[in-house]
Structure 1
Amino acid sequence: MRLGRLGPIGAEVPVVWQGDEAHDLREVTTDLDAAFWTSGGPDVVRRRLETGDLPLLDGAEGMRIGAPIARPGAVVCVGLNYAAHAAESGAPPPKQPVIFLKTPNTVGGPNDDVRIPPRSNKTDWEVELGVVIGRPASYLGSPDESIGCVAGFVLTNDLSERTFQLEESGGQWSKGKCCPGFTPTGPWLVTPDELDHGSLALRSWVNGEPRQDSSTADMVFGVEHLVWNLSQYLALEPGDLLLTGTPEGVGLSGRFPYLHAGDVCELEIPGLGRQRQTFV
């Protein structure tokens, strides 16, 4: 299934797409949040799609696309999870997953404008596969248990301010990751049964010029390993968002200029859709 949220900021309507048609889910749930995942919401939606009794959302085609999940309880991120990106960052591939946190209020719609922070000269793009948690994941016994805890997958942009992250960090990365709007997410969430998350292309462009072109097959640590490994250190909860790392081709590499006002960043993962942000 392709699930999402349409409408103005703070008043998004949960929907499920069937082809090009968006069906209104407000008869099933108030939002795509923790309660939806834990109450069997996806199964209810599937049944109602099969019986054909979910109403269409009037005017859906003209609505703003919001993040396909309600504000998560946590945004947990994995760094240096592609060997080539680790190399362009000046680091060896990690032997254990490297994690950092973003604040939940960084999550925004996939096409919303993004404000470059005051003092910023190094705002950077990072196309990533996002994993939405659907069931609690704590002290899992093996990676084989991980996919059962996944609600679905989303396209994300893990925007970063590199001066804040690396030069003013005090030793942690989150200062450069938590600016408002720094996690554009969507346009939709796809349930695990509908795509091969281990072999997805990731691409990004700035002002129409190619930047990143890689595959999730190149991850140092795959989705199942990440969810299992993180569950040994923290409790992942329904509705949480896990960002799995970015491939090479970012501004930090020194090969491309950083983002400035007026720039347009586009990102794509086939099956998970496309994003387009204008920086202001």
Structure 2
Amino acid sequence: MQPHPFRQPAERLTASPEEQRLGKLRSVHGQRRHAALFHVARGALLLMFTSIIGAVIAGWQGFSLSLPFGIAGFAVLAAAALRHRGLRIELYEHGLIVARREGREAIVFDDVDEVWFDLDRNSTLFGRFVFLRAFRLVEHSGQRRTVPVEVADGQEVARWVLQCCSRPLLEEARRAVKGGEVLTFGPVRLDGEGIAIRDTRVAWSELSLVRLQAGRVAFFRGQTVFPWRTVDLDSVPHPTVFARLVSERAPRVERDEVWAAWTG
């Protein structure tokens, strides 16, 4: 009796063309320990907090009105926990693989045209917190990819993506600005003389302060209490390149304590 082969030749898995271009494996980042429990617990706290606030403000009527919003928030966070079950990020010399239970997706850094932040914002009684949830990568072909960083040692995943996809563009961008070109970052345009945010332009010399904060850049004119404009870092492509160019041109720059740690 012939032994039954484990897999027929035609069924043997072969690396995709993208995987063949990735190069040497650097590190593997699995799902954070207790990540699912954390998301569900956060959802439960959100549900409880929303319901209590509604009851305090408007009694049982407020409780009944706020309860559906709390349940919706709990459902979103619980769904996120389930979505990331089995998540694994493999970092390679020239790209990465996002592995989930349903399959593997290879991304080659040379194919990436734009890097966008996917931010998670939370406002509480204790302040405003911003977390980098994932990268949204747009390839030259127009294909859009999502790379979650909510994994073990996710800062290393973020650092490697930015180092390979955004940092190489910085010197070219500096030369372009120095040469008089106008660079466009989503709703923002900047050059060597000034910056235009949406439809309003201001010279660099007219800015009294630029403050780099977690998740955004605040621009001040004349005073330093209320910002003239703010630019959310998830609204511009290559946000770290944008922030660096601004900080090099603005006459005065402040960085919040969390800025360096937040940007990795």
TM-score, normalised on structure 1?
0.26
- Structure with the bigger percentage of strand: 2
- Structure with the bigger percentage of helix: 2
The structure with the largest alpha-carbon Rg is: 2
TM-score, normalised on structure 2?
0.28
Structure showing greater relative contact order (alpha-carbon pairs closer than 8 Å, 6 or more residues apart):
1
